[in-house]
Amino acid sequence: MPKQVAIIGAGWAGSSAARALLDAGLGVEVFESAQVIGGHSRTELLQGVVYEPNGPHIFHSENERAVRWARRFGLRRRFDFQPKTRIEIDGEERLLCWPLRRDEVATLPEWPRIARELAERPSHPDAASFESWCVSLLGETLYRLFVHGYTVKQWGCEPRLLSSSFAPKRIDFRETGRRGLFLDRWQYFPARGVNRVIEAMLQPVAVHLGARITLPDLDAPAFDRFDQIVVTAPLDDFAGPEAQGRLAWRGMRVVARFHDTADVADTHTPAYVINEPRLDVPYTRTVESKHATGQRIRGTVVCEEYPGAPARHYPVHTADAIYERENQRLKDFIRRASRRPVTFCGRLANYRYINQDQAILEGLRVVDDLLAD
């Protein structure tokens, strides 16, 4: 069992691991390249209004361990997330719930064709690609109206080139039942975002902000005091200059716009998240976090998400999983090159898009393993 642990990254995974290690009596320090903690899920302020610079993040889970951990540090405000999708048919805009529901799509003029396609669906979705999975679940018409254009914009390629592995998390069709996107028992959104939750988690932990650590830095004398490294950073950055460009990422450029409002309760758009699948709309969705925070303040902020920015927001899951294999090769290279044991956890280091509860659990399981050694 190690005595001193360095953790690279102060998002959910790294912060959870750090606090659990400290609770177990180990020495731990966190190194975060940004000037703020919170990682991908953090919130910021624009003219006093809370908004999300990296897209919407709602905590949802069926895992009691993750929920108990998050609630311990103040994540208790319940929220049921219902995104919308905007389409245009015959020059008329329609705003439907997402995931799609039979009762709503039955109001579309294309319903007779949609109904036939739904009746002809196979018993199980075709997992050959993201496109085949979606078409076999929704039928061709709903896929073209609601999914194809959004996916092309989001990933910069045709959906047939993408893996179906992440489709079940993103695409659904509800015959009946609740409207909210998530079906998990526990769903939370703190009034000012997760920053204060993660700050409470890290309050007794030594945190170094603005500290970009890469593999060569581990040989510096300052790291001699550590006998274990936990990496939550992207490995094509952490491994050093020779690894740059070896992994594909899809980034979003978020444009945040402040809008004045007449009343402290007013919002600017009809929903917290509105997906925009039309190809003539340059952004993929709008996010107005005031719907989620319930903040009572004059004004609101609407974010537009434009795909293709040079940022590491989403891993690119191709049908042949080439980048997952490359990420594993980078792990092997880092382990061989490091003079001390290295463990990986979290969204970036494992090249997977995971939910907040999954990130927490990855951090806690790393600690379980270290304490068991």
pTM exceeds 0.85 for this model: yes
Whether residue 186 is predicted with pLDDT greater than 80 in this model: the reply is: yes
How sure is the predictor about 318, in pLDDT bands with cuts at 50, 70 and 90?
Answer: very high
Whether residue 177 is predicted with pLDDT greater than 80 in this model: the reply is: no
How sure is the predictor about 289, in pLDDT bands with cuts at 50, 70 and 90?
Answer: very high
| Span 325-349, average pLDDT | 97
Whether residue 26 is predicted with pLDDT greater than 80 in this model: the reply is: yes
d(CA 5, CA 27) in angstroms, rounded, equals: 6
Taking only the tens place, the pLDDT of each residue in 202-230 is 999 999 999 999 999 999 999 999 999 99
| Span 118-143, average pLDDT | 96
How sure is the predictor about 141, in pLDDT bands with cuts at 50, 70 and 90?
Answer: very high
Torsion, Cα 212 214 218 223, to 10 degrees, reads: 10
Residue 373, pLDDT score: 79
d(CA 146, CA 277) in angstroms, rounded, equals: 6
Taking only the tens place, the pLDDT of each residue in 227-260 is 999 999 999 999 999 898 899 999 999 999 999 9
Residue 287 near residue 272 (C-beta atoms within 8 A): yes
Residue 367 backbone phi and psi in degrees, to 5: -65, -40
Compute CA distances 3 → 25, 26, 163, 225, whole Å. Answer: 9, 5, 41, 9
In percent, the amount of the chain with pLDDT more than 70 equals 99
| Span 104-119, average pLDDT | 96
Taking only the tens place, the pLDDT of each residue in 258-281 is 999 999 999 999 999 999 999 999
Whether residue 180 is predicted with pLDDT greater than 90 in this model: the reply is: no
d(CA 188, CA 144) in angstroms, rounded, equals: 32
Instruction: State yes or no: cis peptide before 99, omega within 30 of 0.
Output: yes
Compute CA distances 138 → 119, 120, 160, 175, whole Å. Answer: 10, 10, 15, 11
Residue 170, pLDDT score: 87
Reported as half-sphere exposure (CB side, CA atoms, 13 A), residue 82 has a value of 11
Distance from chain centroid for Cα 222: 33
Residue 96 backbone phi and psi in degrees, to 5: -115, 155
d(CA 323, CA 169) in angstroms, rounded, equals: 20
Compute CA distances 280 → 94, 293, 303, whole Å. Answer: 16, 30, 18
Residue 87, pLDDT score: 97
Residue 105, pLDDT score: 96
How sure is the predictor about 118, in pLDDT bands with cuts at 50, 70 and 90?
Answer: very high
